[in-house]
Amino acid sequence: MSVAGVPIEVPSKILRRRDLEFLLYEWLEVEMLSTRQVFAEHNRETFDAVLDASERVAREHFYPINKLLDEQEPEFDGEFVTTPAPLKEALEMFAATGMLLAGQPEELGGMQLPYVIEKACSAYFSAASVAASGYAMLTLGNVNLLRAHATPEQVAAWVPPMLSGRFFGTMCLSEPQAGSSLADVATRAEAAPDGSYRLFGNKMWISGGDHDLAQNIVHLVLAKIPGEDGRLVPGVKGLSLFIVPKFLLDESGDPGERNDVAVAGLNHKMGFRGTTNCLLNFGEGAYRPGGEEGAVGFLVGERDRGLAIMFHMMNEARIGVGIGAVTLGYTAYLHALDYARNRPQGRPLGSRNPAEAPIAIVGHADVRRMLLAQKAYVEGGLALTLWCARLVDDAASAADPAERVDAARLLDLMTPVAKSWPSQWCLAANDLAIQVMGGYGYTRDYNVEQYYRDNRLNPIHEGTHGIQALDLLGRKVRLEGGLALRVLAQRIGATIARAADVAGADSEWTGYGAALASWGARFQVCLVRLQDGANVERGLANATVFLEAFGHYVVAWQWLDQACCALAAISSDGGVEISAGELAFYNGKLQAGRYFLRWELPRIGPMLDLLDELDATALEMRDEWF
């Protein structure tokens, strides 16, 4: 395909590899990670090899079953949960090709790849089939938590079977009566004479909670150990974390006796249908392991520190949710782009000749507007989430201790944004993909309606949009007196200076940098008012507005930073002439950045106006007025 004589690469409908390469190698400079001892065995060749493998397995084994998993939901007959056979085959291929081991240390048989590369690989799978990939991503989160907090004996018993794909993992937090309010968790964990515990309670919304895809399921369960008076400790301080497997292990480490964990039912969802979602009963008496009541559990880490430990998996899951939201928006964008390039409809505005052949709808300015908005959202979201993944690597392995500390601060600050911004704006990209395709986009004949339904879950799970907003404004921006915000401001300032250097003092990009600086100053003034101790409730009533404004500000900064990379590539004086395809790629980057900085960044003005006023409209609304 070509336009005006310039060849256009027909993109993959899963992800665009050239974009990944730009973000990883040109913008995030991940090849530099190979200079660190932990990644010394790797280079771009090994990074590319695992990306190649991920793309191939996702394309050949995950993408073909995506619609199948949407149409043939898991079934529960009252005792057993069954899933379509191709799902198990895809996950077995995922494990067989070593994808579960990509980011694991060598001592566990892993490839010891950087986290940012592992997340780039995972993007292929969530784009190809977010429902199928969910089982693997939950299992990896389970593994990483146990590696960080479990005893060596627990790691030896549970981690290798999960990394081989024999066992899968879950996280069990919510309960029917508690929802997101973990202080109200009522599951009890009673100490047994052998050092284990017996759990009694119910868990709701458990993704991957039961299935026929693995030999065993390792549940990580939040529960409360009764005090000396037999009562549960109020609030989150009494929460502890337990390994509660579906099957207990025999002396050889294989699944043996059935534990007292039973499925009460499946939740039937709008999207994400191929990932089972369960109500689980612990200790209801359906099974009696060892002849006694209760589901056998094993304490992970210290008693009463369960929530702090579980945040290891929750924070990792929040970055994963962000990437999943990005990829669902991204693949929908590529489907809409392909449709727009191949769907003839209408004629140029100046044409009055009905006999003239129709043009492809990509030729219409409003269609290009919608495609450009999608591109700006999904490529901006991919940059945001991969940058956060790179922060994980920097916090763990940067040579300079100060750099490690700053990376950890930024990661803590950005985790709610990495989860929520893509969940909002890449869902908006899904909406635009349907609009580009018109009535066809609204039918099941095309994939984009499913991508919208699948993505609609992401603003909800792993902490709703509002919960992330409260976390950001009520806690994260205040840590260490706002030190993370100052680190972020330094990085944004460096980009603003770079834009002036790369593009010239009088360029539009320098102007965008000045606009960013102005918005940054407004945020500082706004935060002073929001953090006024006399107006805490009014400030937090506006937390969602703050989250949305702050997310747009950060993504705008990253678009300016990407534009600097694109400008540098185009103006390189290395003597190598840039190809037409590469020039088109970089110009596309610049235009998407231009769109975001011109059309999207100004959205935060009215938001900051509301925040400056400490608007109380929502706070003062009363139930009886609805």
Reference 174, options 188, 166, 184; nearest CA is 184
Helices (H) and strands (E) in the chain, counts: 19, 14
389 contacts: CB under 8 Å, gap ≥ 6: 115, 116, 118, 119, 120, 319, 323
CA distance 503 to 565: 11
What is the rounded CA–CA span in Å between residue 342 and residue 224?
A: 58
Determine whether 379 is an active site residue: no
User: Alpha-carbon distance 158 to 154, whole Å?
Assistant: 6
Which of 449, 462, 548, 600 is an active site residue? 462
Secondary structure class of 35 (helix, strand, coil): helix
Q: Are 87 and 70 in contact (CB under 8 A)?
A: no
The residue among 329, 306, 335, 574 whose CA lies nearest residue 456 is 329
Q: Between helices 401-441 and 306-342, what is the axis angle to 10°?
A: 40
Indicate the pairing of strand 295-300 with strand 261-266.
Answer: unpaired
Residue of 127, 137, 471, 176 lying closest to 313 (CA atoms): 137
Q: Is 521 exposed, middle or buried (0-12, 13-18, 19+ CB in 10 A)?
A: exposed
Token pair of 104, please? 């694991």
DSSP 362-396: GGSHHHHHHHHHHHHHHHHHHHHHHHHHHHHHHHH
Report how far residue 432's alpha carbon sits from residue 454's, in angstroms, rounded to the nearest whole number: 15
Which spans in 261-400 are helix H?
306-342, 365-397
Tokens of 274: 């191929």
Cα separation of 596 and 592, whole Å? 6
Q: How many angstroms separate the Cα of 282 from the Cα of each of 186, 200, 265, 427?
A: 12, 5, 13, 35
Dig out the tokens for 284 from the structure.
């209801």
d(CA 512, CA 502): 13
Strand-pair partners of 197: 191, 297
Which amino acid is present at 265?
G
Q: Is 603 helix (H, G, I), strand (E, B) or coil?
A: helix
Pair 509, 564: CB distance under 8 Å: yes
Catalytic residues: 462
